[in-house]
Amino acid sequence: MKVCMKVNSSWFAWCLLVVVLTFSGLCAAQTQGGESENSRWFTVDAINSGLGEPPEEANRVTPRESIRSFLELTDQEEYEAAAHMLNLSEFAVDEQPEQGRELARQLAEIFQRGEWLSVSDLPGREDAVIEDSSGQNPRVGEARRNIEVSSMQANGETYDIRLGRYRVGDQEPVWLIMPISVSYIPVLYEQYGPSMLEGYIPERFQASFGLLRIWEWIAIPLFLLVVGMVGWGVHHLIGLMSKWLPSGVSSIFASQIGMPAALIAMSLVTQGLLDYVVSFSAVATTTFRVLLISILAWGAGTIALRLVDTIMLRMTRRLVGEIDDTKPRDERRLLTSLYALRRIIILITVTGVSIYILGQIQLFESLGLSILASASVLAVLVGVAGQAVLGNILSSFQLSFAKPIRIGDLVVFEGQWCYVEGIFYTFIRLRSWDERRLIVPVTYFTSKPFDNLSVKSTKMYRTLELTLHLSADIGLLRDKFLEVAKEENSVIEHHKLLCYVTAQTGTAQTVTCYLMTSDPLAGWTAEMNVRERLLAYIRDNYPEWWPRDIVVISHNDIARGEQGTRSSGTGSSEKNSSEENSPEVDNP
């Protein structure tokens, strides 16, 4: 009996579990179906009951038509009709007409003076489905029930104006400015609304003429003139400061920052005037904003680079001095490292400024350059367009870190003696011995062989050759060479002074002298001095050592066979007579 009761209880529990699971599945399916349907719009009981029926001009079917209708109605100052584009559910029914009219007027001013709004970029479909022909957006084909129209800054905070899709019962859904965005309108109007100065402008100048209002066409040139005068004054003031400062690094720095400082002052004054004095339309404001950000970033970056250059100049003068190979190798290595550090700072500054400008002006979003959003396409474009520039930049970093040459090294490049005066991003500046400057692309320089006469030590062997008669006394000449060479200051390691006969002909011999010098250019001067003094010594004391040609004039030429054709007696007599009368002539 008990066993039967247990079996019946277990079957009852299993049946109850199946019923519960089935009911839960049906509920979940119904819930999911409701969420899927509601994801296309917001279901509400009523929309702007206090405004009455919307006019025919109020097209709210798509996001694009909703904003376009709002702008057209507000441009005609029909703010009551434009209020139908706002979701005024946060206001009481009796407050909606008055609040809607005022908020519509304020939002129209915000759109006109705030961010440049492109209606064509808004979705033109009723469901605002995401369309992307490039296939880069992972949400392509997804329907939306709210979208962003504009994003603006006010008091350091970001406020979004968004459209939402609302449906009442079985009626067609409509797109309205969402209640949270409607609550932002007073804050944004305080930031972007008309300035106090505009209160004194007559009504006839308030009308629109093209993209701007009539008074703006008059005010903008005057505005630019005032800003230009401010920039000229700052530039002139800094120029006077550079003359007042004592000559040196500070005056050099002041003379180099006049233009960027003037541009920074102009951008700051312009921003102040736009914030507190005058407010232009969105087209002019957006243009000014892009220019101000670019100018401000460029000016700050330029002043930072000028500061780095000034610090490097001070360190160069203090630690290295004149750029040549007479300085110790460690100091020239330090100067080369400083130049490499300068290029790194420039690269970081340019990259940071570019990222800042693009982030502030939102270039990709404003212009809609979707092709540039692809990193692969951008890499190909940069690689193809800037291949030569990038190659030079990478080569310059290679030279700076590997240091096959250093600032101040003496090199022989394509047959010319030059000092390495600077290693820059794309070129190397060489100073020739006659004070010319050779500008050589980095990749071209690294692809050619060159002699670095300063790579380990600046000392160098010099040789001079003298061609003398066979009768010259080499011992005397060697002693004189040692005496003269030891008197030269740039000749070092006297134990390596050598003087030998290195070649000989039938009438002359070549004497070569070797001397070790402290550096190549000083060695060239020492070689010239030693040669001049040895030549003067030979000229004044042993002129017979000069090489000369010996010519023998004789009628008895064995090669001609004249001796064999004559009689023995007569021939012998003529031979002796001929030999006695044949002089030996020395032609020096």
Measured CA distances, 179 to 35, 161, 175, 189 (Å): 22, 10, 12, 16
Spacing of C-alpha 441 from chain mean position:
17
Collapsing DSSP to helix, strand or coil, 146 comes out as: strand
pLDDT exceeds cutoff 70 at 326: no
C-alpha to C-alpha distance for 67 and 69, rounded to whole angstroms: 5
Across 79-98, average pLDDT: 91
Domain spanning 460-541, CATH class: alpha beta
Please, what is the average pLDDT of the chain?
A: 76
Across 421-442, average pLDDT: 84
* pLDDT tens digit sequence for 452-475: 877 666 777 888 999 999 989 999
pLDDT exceeds cutoff 70 at 512: yes
The predicted pLDDT at position 30 comes to 36
pTM equals 0.48
Which of 331-345, 506-520, 551-565 is predicted with the least confidence, judged by mean pLDDT?
A: 551-565
Other Cβ atoms less than 10 A from the Cβ of 410: the count is 24
More confident residue, 287 or 319: 287
Note the residue count of the chain.
588
pLDDT exceeds cutoff 50 at 6: no
Q: Where are the domains of the chain?
A: 42-129+142-193, 212-321+334-360, 393-456, 460-541
The predicted pLDDT at position 65 comes to 92
The predicted pLDDT at position 410 comes to 82
Across 516-540, average pLDDT: 89
pLDDT band at 294 (very low <50, low <70, confident <90, very high): confident
Best-predicted range by mean pLDDT (96-100, 127-131, 224-228) = 96-100
The predicted pLDDT at position 582 comes to 42
**What sign has the CA pseudo-torsion 429, 432, 438, 440?**
negative
Residue with tokens 């550079």: 242
Residue 142 structure tokens: 């997804």
* pLDDT tens digit sequence for 364-406: 444 444 444 444 555 555 555 555 666 666 777 677 667 778 7
Contact 201, 193 (CB under 8 A): no
C-alpha to C-alpha distance for 434 and 428, rounded to whole angstroms: 18
Question: φ and ψ at 84, to 5 degrees?
Answer: -70, -10
pLDDT exceeds cutoff 50 at 283: yes
Contact 25, 70 (CB under 8 A): no
More confident residue, 566 or 32: 566
Of 524, 551, 530, which Cα lies nearest the Cα of 466? 530
The predicted pLDDT at position 10 comes to 52
Looking from the CA of 287 toward its CB, the CA atoms found within 13 Å total 9
Across 421-436, average pLDDT: 82
The predicted pLDDT at position 568 comes to 44
C-alpha to C-alpha distance for 400 and 533, rounded to whole angstroms: 44
The predicted pLDDT at position 15 comes to 54
Query: 2.30.30.60, 1.20.1090.10, 2.40.30.20, 3.20.20.70: which CATH number matches 393-456?
Result: 2.30.30.60
Which of 53-67, 312-326, 565-579 is predicted with the least confidence, judged by mean pLDDT?
A: 565-579
The predicted pLDDT at position 580 comes to 40
Beta strands in 354-479 (DSSP E): 410-413, 416-423, 427-432, 437-441, 451-452, 460-469
Helix (H) or strand (E) run with residue 509 in it: strand 508-517
More confident residue, 415 or 480: 480
The predicted pLDDT at position 138 comes to 61
> Identity (one letter) of the amino acid at 391?
G
Across 94-111, average pLDDT: 90
pLDDT exceeds cutoff 60 at 325: no
Q: What single DSSP character describes residue 72?
A: H
pLDDT exceeds cutoff 70 at 29: no
Measured CA distances, 501 to 16, 93, 114, 512, 547 (Å): 122, 119, 92, 6, 14
